[in-house]
Amino acid sequence: MAETKTDTSTEASEPTCIRIFDTTLRDGEQSPGATLNLQEKLKIAQQLALLGVDVIEGGFPITSVGDFEAVRQIGQSVDGPIVAGLARAVPADIDRAGEALRGCPRPRIHVFCATSKVHREHKLRKAIDEIIRISIESVKQARQYVDDVEFSPEDGSRTELEILRDITAAVVEAGATTVNIPDTVGFAVPSEYGEIFRYLRQQLPQLDAKDVYLSAHCHNDLGLAVSNSLAAVANGARQVECTINGIGERAGNAALEEIVMALRTRRDYYNRFTTRINTKRIYPVSRMVSTFTGLHVQRNKAVVGENAFAHEAGIHQDGVIKFRGTYEIMDPRDIGVPESKLVLGKHSGRHALRQRLAELGFELDAEMLEKVYTAFKDLADKKKDVYDDDIEAIVDDLLQQGRSLWELVRFQVISGTGVISTATVELTDTTGERRMEAATGDGPIDAIYSAMQKITNVPLEVEDFETRSVTAGKEAQGEVSIQGRHNDRKVKGRGLSTDVVEAAAKAYLSAINRIKTVEDRKQAAAALNGNGGATAP
């Protein structure tokens, strides 16, 4: 597609289409506590394609069999976007990425090598000439596999401008088609970060001549990831790397939904730019990522947070009732946020449920629909009014269960004042075998957790326990989120039920299942080779 590049806002040409490079499945999955299995990654990738992202970074193939398979299967099954695999500037990494992308219709290898002084001196222990030489060779090697090669000078925002210029010129000469300048440690501020892009475009006319894409990749350590990304766009970046819900290493990456909605809501200001994102798909994919990773979206999170469109102050409510535009700059429907209204009750049929699910962004197969219907009927028996949030919660819960290794069969607790809390729990493992244990504890939940620990034999120390109701009313569904520690690793779990004790039991089990997923993956990785210590931009 021919894209006009506009340096000045006075030029009245077609707006530049900013490429949205989604790294939820790579950088996002590096979030502490988040792990995704292959099925989850494939489901998210399909949603990302429907959302309209231009590039999906599926993983870092050399690091594990799981990442290799994710890149391979996304590359072969997902229609539309370019699929990227990450590689260090190391021959084995590039070979592995090339292998993972074999058969992918739109493959990209993303090579990175650190360039900042602190990384040169303390991590790589190499001089810049050597780094440039390795980078050139790596890009050439990647070009033997694919025509689309991205290069990232890791810690780019802390690299001297002249060095960034020289390495960019060198890798473009070697065949890189996108050069990404990562703010790996979230240190940059907007004007300074934007200046890097202005400088590179001014110094290197070959970028325009060869139609090379400059790209932004920002971390949110100072809360500036989105601002920095927008500053880069205003100064000539034509690709932005981001994640759903802003998940990622440490404080996370720039949030896709915030960048896209800033460009869209402020078209009056950013009229030179557009994206291919179908914004109505934002909310469903945000929910899916939150469910699969176990990373809650904070209530006041921009665009997708629960309170993003809630008006509390009386004067605001009055204004919004008279005219939404008084206090509302975005229409929640544009993001695909369903209006939470009373929809279904006990007498609603499958058809009504399927229709409502479709409106909520869930397209389920017949088997899954039947499961949702059964759970819905159960819930409608317990509570009169079933809201959209309840239905979403049921689907989220079932999606989690669908991949469960351990499943809850039943439990019984005895608890009260002056009574030793005692729990009896029965679970099934993957083979379908039932196992039962009893334990005492400091309260009913503690007793259940002790019994589960006996059955599963997985040590898990619960550090944080949070409960909230999904909808209003006495019979509302309760959601329990826990954060625990397994050896040295943080792990999260989530469970849902109208019975908060049962929700707590499910949350614990989902954490146990997550630990199992990670361990399976580690074993697979160890079986491949002893490749450790791979960091990423």
What residues line the site for Mn ion (CB under 5 A)?
A: 27
Are 18 and 275 spatial neighbours (Cβ–Cβ below 8 Å)? Answer: yes
* CB 112, min distance to Mn ion, A: 9
Nearer to Mn ion, 29 or 388 (CB): 29
User: Please, which residue, 189 or 458, has the CB nearer to Mn ion?
Assistant: 189
Question: Tell me, what DSSP letter sits at residue 330?
Answer: S
**Minimal distance, residue 413 CB to Mn ion, in Å:** 45
Q: d(Cα 393, Cα 383) in Å, to the nearest integer?
A: 14
User: Of the two residues 222 and 369, which places its CB atom closer to Mn ion in the complex?
Assistant: 222
Q: How far is the CB of 138 from Mn ion (least distance, A)?
A: 18
* Nearest residue to Mn ion, by Cβ distance, number only: 27
Nearer to Mn ion, 27 or 69 (CB): 27
Nearer to Mn ion, 243 or 513 (CB): 243
Round to whole Å and give the CA distance between 283 and 245. 10
The pairing of strands 461-469 and 478-486 is antiparallel
Distances (CA, A) of 2 to 14, 211, 394: 10, 10, 45
How far apart are CB 154 and Mn ion at their closest, in Å? 9
Residue 381 CB, nearest approach to Mn ion (Å): 47
CB of 248 to Mn ion, least distance (A): 6
The residues near 144 (Cβ < 8 Å, ≥ 6 apart) are 98
Angle, vertex CA 89, rays to CA 83 and CA 95, nearest 5: 60
| Pairing mode, strands 149-154 and 178-183 | parallel
C-alpha span between 87 and 59 (Å, rounded): 9
Which spans in 175-255 are helix H? Answer: 190-203, 206-209, 225-234
Q: Which is nearer to Mn ion, 27 or 397 (CB)?
A: 27
The number of CA neighbours under 13 Å toward the Cβ of 119 is 20
Residue 152 CB, nearest approach to Mn ion (Å):
9
For residue 475, CA distances in Å to 392, 469, 470 come to 17, 9, 10
Contact 326, 320 (CB under 8 A): yes
The tokens of 370 are what?
């039947």
CB of 299 vs Mn ion, minimal distance in Å: 26
Return the closest-CA partner of residue 462 out of 450, 454, 470, 451.
Answer: 450
Residue nearer to Mn ion on the CB measure, 187 or 327: 187
Supply the minimum distance, in Å, between the C-beta of residue 93 and Mn ion.
Answer: 16
Looking up tokens 């614990």, which residue turns up?
Answer: 508
CB 148 within 8 A of CB 106: yes
Token pair recorded at residue 278: 């179908």
As measured in angstroms, the least distance from the Cβ of 219 to Mn ion is: 6
**Shortest Cβ 179–Mn ion spacing (Å):** 15
CA 95 and chain centroid, separation: 26
Q: Is 148 exposed, middle or buried (0-12, 13-18, 19+ CB in 10 A)?
A: buried
Query: How far is Cα 46 from Cα 346, in angstroms, rounded to an integer?
Result: 33
**Which CB atom, from 29 or from 502, has the smaller least distance to Mn ion?**
29
| Alpha-helix residue ranges (DSSP H) falling in 323-387 | 350-359, 366-382
The residue among 183 and 257 lying less far from Mn ion, judged by its C-beta, is 183
Backbone angles phi, psi at 344, to 5 degrees: -130, 155
Name which of 185 and 451 has its Cβ closer to Mn ion: 185
Quick one: 159 or 400, whose CB is closer to Mn ion? 159
